[in-house]
Amino acid sequence: MEELVRPITDFVRDQQVWAAPIVFALAFGESIAFLSLLIPAWGALVGIGALIGPSGISFWPIWVAGSIGAACGDWLSYWIGFKFKDRVAHMWPLSRHPDMLPRGEAFVRDWGVPGIFVGRFFGPLRATVPLVAGIFEMPYGMFQIANFASAFVWAAVLLLFGDIISKVATWFWSAV
């Protein structure tokens, strides 16, 4: 994953004007069904968060961009599930992992709307929970409230985690 993260964080550090669009795209890719398996973007988001203090990148625009990107990815996953229903199970990668949909269904049925919020923070669930919510027609308004609320918290957690790691590392190296 480092071979993916380093070039992205180096580019953002050097071209700060692109920080918000890149964070939007990473969060979108990390949150959309199917694509999230190919784009492990959380590491890049933590890495970009680590640039907040040292490089002077403003937290607020990249936080909003990451939040909206994540919410849009989940919204699209919900729509795919809602539109294609059972046909989704025959699409890659779900066709190769037939246990993912039943597990996602059980999770959504057990947890309901809070499951959308909780699912955002767990890798495999992040993209399958919105898909399953769409397949089983979770009420759209309830889904979107949980979707946007969790997206803003998730983006803040990843970015601030990177920022805190950066500050601790700076403090540690200055103390040594």
List pLDDT tens digits, range 33-70.
877 767 778 889 999 999 998 888 999 999 999 999 99
The identity of residue 129, as a single letter, is V
- Indicate if the pLDDT at residue 100 is higher than 80: no
* 165 contacts: CB under 8 Å, gap ≥ 6: 46, 49, 50
Give mean pLDDT, residues 82-92.
86
pLDDT surpasses 80 at 12: yes
Structural domain for 52, as ranges = 2-175
Q: What is the pLDDT of residue 1?
A: 59
The number of domains in the chain is: 1
